[in-house]
Amino acid sequence: MPNRYDPMPAQGRSWCIAQVSVFAMTEFIPPGTQWFKLPSPFPMKRGGALHAARLAYETWGALDAGGGNAILILPGMSPDAHAASHPGNPAPGWWEWMIGPGKPIDTDRWFVICVNPLGSCKGSTGPASLNPDTGAPYRLDFPELSIEDGADAAAALVQGLGIERLACVVGNSMGAMSALSLLDRHPGIARTHISVCGATHALPFSIAIRSLQREAIRNDPDWNHGQYDDAGRYPENGMRMARKLGVITYRSALEWDGRFGRVRLDADDRDVDAPFAAEFEVEGYLEAHARRFVHRYDPNSYLYLSRSMDWFDLGEAANGNAIHTLSRLRGIERALVLGVKTDILFPIQQQEEIANGLRRASVETRFLPLPSPQGHDAFLVDADRFAPAITGFLRTLSFIAMPAEKVA
């Protein structure tokens, strides 16, 4: 059953599927990806270090002579760096309607960088990448991963591109956590901030859901303690169940009711011989969505990144007081905090907390609780609400010069 809301069905995307030696592990790297070599060794917050690691990213627009028109986008857990089409990869990206000439993030004015998260399987070093010490994939030998590690990697990229200060850092979902960590750990790295459906820490409901997702993967016998491959033994059932649980939380009950109601599957789409088989359209949708995801994301990467969100607590150094940490942020002049009233994964009160904390830091902050029916994923699909908000915020940033020539 087609997904009537998702902006980019699987068949519309293209990947470079990188085979890793004889181990049949795969990374899913979009054409046109650029790479930045991280400092080596690259220390990790919870111990250990990465050697010869890299960060995958893509860019749009031109960096002005002073390097002051750069916008960094930190995405959620599963996207790659291909947020929008460009000459190196003309396929539509996951935020196609947001980025480009004349669009809300206008590449005639801004130099835009989108980073694939550290720990992912879509270009940046992660559990599916080769461990230079062994020549085999890291798998569970990958160091424990924290949101802070991704923030530090993004900061290294910004510095490596010769950008002294970003015009804006934009964070979506998990990326909003990363953006807050970036601003906390690297004071002055950005003048402004756009937080989209983010949080300073995970709430018990979100932790519980992600715990079940990880359990579904780990309890699949074919996960085999992380020693699976994509050619034979692969935890397909665990990944299917994990993705279904996730999709349920990405949208809202209001949308599920409006899209599917109690409509039954057509007879041709039902397995009448299987006991308790799917009967309703919503069941068929979840199955189709999960099958598009399976074999397009590394299970170990899913485990690592999922757990990094549960661990994250911006207020960790202040006895769990995130407001206190936010109030001490420096170098940010203005902020836009966007949330969705129907979001059950990152509830709207979490975005309000971010806005209140930024105001305590004397940051001129606008908080917009949007009434989108589409839940957490609204920022990917609800252009009618998100585009005007981001367009309006960026148009007011008068301190940025028009780009002259690309210098990075």
- Kind of pairing between the strands at 34-37 and 54-60: antiparallel
Q: Residues 96, 7: contact at Cβ < 8 Å?
A: yes
Nearest CA to 62 out of 41, 78, 86 is that of 86
The single-letter DSSP state of residue 161 is T
Exposure string for 156-176, b = 16+ CB within 10 A, e = fewer: bbbeebebeebbbbbbbbbbb
Q: Which parts of 173-321 are beta strand (E)?
A: 190-196
Where in the sequence numbering do the catalytic residues fall? 173, 343, 376
Report how far apart, in Å, the C-alpha atoms of 214 and of each of 218, 221, 306, 307, 401 are.
6, 13, 8, 8, 46
- In degrees and rounded to multiples of 5, residue 229 shows phi and psi of -145, 170
> Alpha-carbon torsion 321, 185, 139, 26, what sign?
positive
Report strand pairing: 105-106 vs 166-172. Answer: unpaired
